[in-house]
Chain A
Amino acid sequence: MDLFAANNITKQFSNHKALDKVSISVPEKSIFGLLGPNGAGKTTLIRIINRIIAPDEGELYFMGRKLVPNDIERIGYLPEERGLYKKMNVGEQALYLAQLKGINRNDAVKRLKYWFEKFELLPWWNRKVEELSKGMQQKVQFIVTILHEPKLLIFDEPFSGFDPINVNLLKEEILELQKKGVTIIFSTHNMASVEELCDHIALINKSKKILDGNVWDIQKTYKTNSFELHYTDYDGNLSDFLPPKFEVTDLSTINEHFISKIQIPKDARLNDLIRELLPHITIQAIKEIIPSMNDIFIRTVTQQTSSSVSKHEESL
């Protein structure tokens, strides 16, 4: 079941269209990656989900019904542009933000103590925000975002400003939250973390959604039936004996190992390749090359850009 869905969302600003009939559906308990280059419209979409701005067209659904204003109390949002009042005390400020989310004061204190303890922030409770390091401020913001135990969490570039240790801490927390049944929308440029965390993605470019679905399904559609082969005992070119349809794209040497990349025809299988190779070389290792999300991202975005450029040229 989808926890959240957006249907044909369009948002027009005076000079440009920020979103053009974008639809996404976020399955319950998934981690959903919202990807796209800068200025694609991700933040606009997220702001629409948070009811910060209203769409011109389109509907939003939450937990199987239309999204209503009170639903923002079930949504947690960590914006990309985030900060805290610098002159205010850390604890007092966290309490204030928690109460704005509708938690009563006593509950808020209890939960904050728990999370501050967990993130080793308790000694800083009575300090001013400006005395905290940037990483600590980010932790406070993260705590405030999840404190009201939302059903849906939206993180916009959550890892910016964290050191690697804290990035790991945060990732663990995110996975922990997912286990507890929270659905997470996750907007980022960091493709490695997408592969690591996300089950589903949607790719937005130039106000339009150009790709979406399950991460594994997408990778399957983008793979080219290529394999990376480590071998010894043959220093010639593999294409000398391979059938012409088996294309050798790359050759390199590491520690007396040869490494080749071979693309085989769509109807062929790995077994066919191995059968061809066995009489000639000693195989050390072989694995399928699965396109990284990074590659897919760059490829689809540049494709769309070049096609729109050529379209533009045609229209001229």
Chain B
Amino acid sequence: MKKIILIIRREYLTRVRKRSFIVMTILGPLLMAAIVIVPIYIATLSNEVKTVSVIDETGFFYEKFKDSETIKFQYLVSDLSSAKSGFSKSGASALLYIPKTELALPSGAILYSKSQVNINVKGYIKTVMSRQLEELKLEAKLRDLQLNMDAKLTTDDILRSIKTSVEISTIKIGKEGTEEKSYPEVSMVLGMFGGILIYFFIFLFGSQVMRGVIEEKTSRIVEVIISSVKPFQLMMGKIIGVGLVGLTQFLLWVVLTTGIVTIATSTLSSKLSSKALPEQLIKNQNPGLASATTFDKAIISPKENAEGMNEVLDAINSIDFPVMIGSFLFFFLFGFLLYAALFAAIGSAVDSEADTQQFMLPITVPLVLSFVLAQYIIQEPQGTLAFWLSIIPLTSPVIMMIRIPFGVPYWHILLSMGFLILGFLGTTLFAAKIYRTGILMYGKKVSYKELWKWLKYKN
């Protein structure tokens, strides 16, 4: 155990000190921050005024949507079908339909649009709607309280009971009037992001393990080391060490990206808030309510609103975060461990990186396949294909991460985790057998047949 820690330590330190690691650590967050910031920045540049037609069957929201420099609202009093037929000819870029619904269940709002809905527009609509609903609920609650003096409710209880999250589904209307449902963007983005990140990390750090093994073989240090430690310890030490490097890099990316985005958006936000959103929204607070100021701040921070991030935040709130983060770390770790063992086995079987091609194929196929299939999985995250691919250990790290933001039954996740652990144990045992023979073979072109023989050698 002491020796394996020594090995992990060396593998970790030599990699973390490398220039390429430092460069990647800085470039990664810059790139990711750019992906987040650029669309927001572009949104600030757009001066086009968008008109949104509103059909409000509830009547709650009449005159609540305020015009700004970039968004104008017009209220229609026709029914949905005639409004839709008129929509394509009208100058409006979107049509908001709020069906009659109960106050406690504000759902079913649909936003029809001609093109992709601007995230600012959607965010604003959602904010206004949830704010309005919360106010209505609060009024109802206060009436209730006046009638029922015995009830001992704290401000917190009230705030919690009125907290409202509004879901708006988006439907794109084509030129010929065809309707196409767009998918819940945030789940999609999170799923894709998680899946791609795992895919990327497995490849990046898996091949680092492989290169590390080849380095030990070509530099001929391997026999010196395995006269002190078992081949298995050396292999696992390397895998764990590189895995920790990956984790470190990932955490640094998260911290740095968050830092950069926060700084960049706060400089942009002053520009945004004056432009994209009406001032009234911020000022429009009901002075008659004692707790209104605090809960308004708590629920709609004007700044977040200004960044157009509210929608994202809303959606994130609706996602089970502990499960998301927990399973990301789990699939990240075990996905890496599973593949890294295979990468180590390949590294041990060859003399140089040029010879790895023939053995790389069986490893890359499931990984690339899960990457390619990701777009289908996203359209049908609960389908049979999605289910099986998220259970099979070789594809599950990527596919399960894509599925989780859409909501997956716990037993799917647990089953997938169970199989992944089994898969990890399996590949590690398999890899260890190839590894301990492979590292001592020099100058020999190895075939699959040869590998099969190695598997059968007695230790």
Contact = CB atoms under 8 A, between A and B. Distances in A.
Interface of A: 13-14, 47, 50, 52-54, 56, 72-73, 75, 77-79, 81-88, 96-97, 99-102, 141, 144
Given A72-B228, A81-B442, A87-B14, A99 B223 contact: no
B221 A54 contact: no
Contact of A101 (B221, B228, B459): B228
Interface in B80-102: none
Given A52-B227, A72-B227, A96 B221 contact: no
B120 to A, nearest CB: 50
A14 B453 contact: yes
A302 B10 CA distance: 48
A81 B360 CA distance: 27
B220 A82 contact: yes
A41 B221 CA distance: 21
A102 B227 CA distance: 12
Taking each of B3, B7, B220, B223, which has the highest tally of chain A beta carbons within 10 Å of its own beta carbon? B223
Contact of B221 (A14, A83, A102): A83
B225 to A, nearest CB: 7
A97 B225 contact: yes
B440 A85 contact: no
6 contacts: A14-B456, A79-B224, A83-B219, A85-B221, A88-B14, A97-B225
Interface in B229-244: 229, 231
A81 B224 CA distance: 9
A141 B224 contact: yes
B283 interface: no
B445 interface: no
Given A82-B223, A83-B224, A99-B6, 13 more contacts: A14-B457, A52-B227, A53-B440, A54-B458, A54-B459, A75-B227, A77-B227, A84-B224, A85-B221, A86-B219, A96-B6, A97-B228, A100-B228
A84 B225 CA distance: 10
Interface residues of B, number: 25
B215 interface: yes
Nearest to B459: A54
A47 B231 CA distance: 13
B224 A85 contact: no
A164 to B, nearest CB: 23
Nearest 5 A-B pairs (CB), nearest first? A83-B220, A79-B223, A77-B227, A83-B219, A100-B228
Contacts of A52: 223, 226-227, 231, 440
Contacts of A77: 223-224, 227
Given A52-B440, A54-B459, A72-B227, A100 B221 contact: no
Nearest to B7: A100
A56 B457 CA distance: 10
Nearest to B218: A83
A309 B383 CA distance: 69
A234 to B, nearest CB: 58
Nearest to A154: B227
Contact of A79 (B219, B227, B457): B227
Interface string B163-187: 0000000000000000000000000
B220 A81 contact: yes
Most buried by A among B6, B226, B458: B226
Interface in B408-458: 440, 442, 453, 456-458
A56 B456 CA distance: 13
B440 A100 contact: no
A87 B13 CA distance: 12
A85 B220 CA distance: 9
B216 to A, nearest CB: 8
A288 B258 CA distance: 87
Contacts of B226: 52
Nearest to A101: B228
Contacts of B442: 81
A84 B459 contact: no
Contact of B229 (A14, A100, A141): A100
A43 to B, nearest CB: 9
Contacts of B440: 47, 52-53
Contacts of A75: 227
A72 B225 CA distance: 12
A75 B226 CA distance: 12
Contacts of A88: 14
Interface string B2-13: 010011001000
A97 B234 CA distance: 12
Contacts of A54: 458-459
Contacts of A79: 220, 223-224, 227
Contacts of A144: 224
A81 B228 contact: no
A50 B227 CA distance: 6
Q: Which of A52, A56, A102 has the most CB of B within 10 A?
A: A52
A313 to B, nearest CB: 31
Contacts of A73: 228
A21 B216 CA distance: 33
A75 B228 CA distance: 9
B456 to A, nearest CB: 8
Contacts of A84: 219, 221, 224
A86 B328 CA distance: 36
B454 to A, nearest CB: 9
A135 B440 CA distance: 23
Contacts of B221: 82-85
Contact of B219 (A53, A56, A85, A99): A85
Contact of B224 (A13, A14, A82, A99): A82
B445 to A, nearest CB: 15
B14 to A, nearest CB: 6
A97 B224 contact: yes
Contacts of B227: 50, 52, 72, 75, 77, 79
Contacts of A83: 219-221, 224
A81 B223 contact: yes
A87 B17 CA distance: 11
A92 B216 CA distance: 16
A99 B8 CA distance: 13
Nearest to B216: A85
A85 B223 contact: no
Contacts of A100: 3, 6-7, 225, 228-229
Interface in B201-229: 215-216, 219-221, 223-229
A100 B222 CA distance: 13
Nearest to A15: B453
B128 to A, nearest CB: 60
Contacts of B228: 72-73, 97, 100-102
Contacts of B224: 77-79, 82-84, 97, 141, 144
Contacts of B458: 54, 56
A72 B3 CA distance: 13
B239 to A, nearest CB: 17
Nearest to B452: A14
Contacts of B225: 97, 100
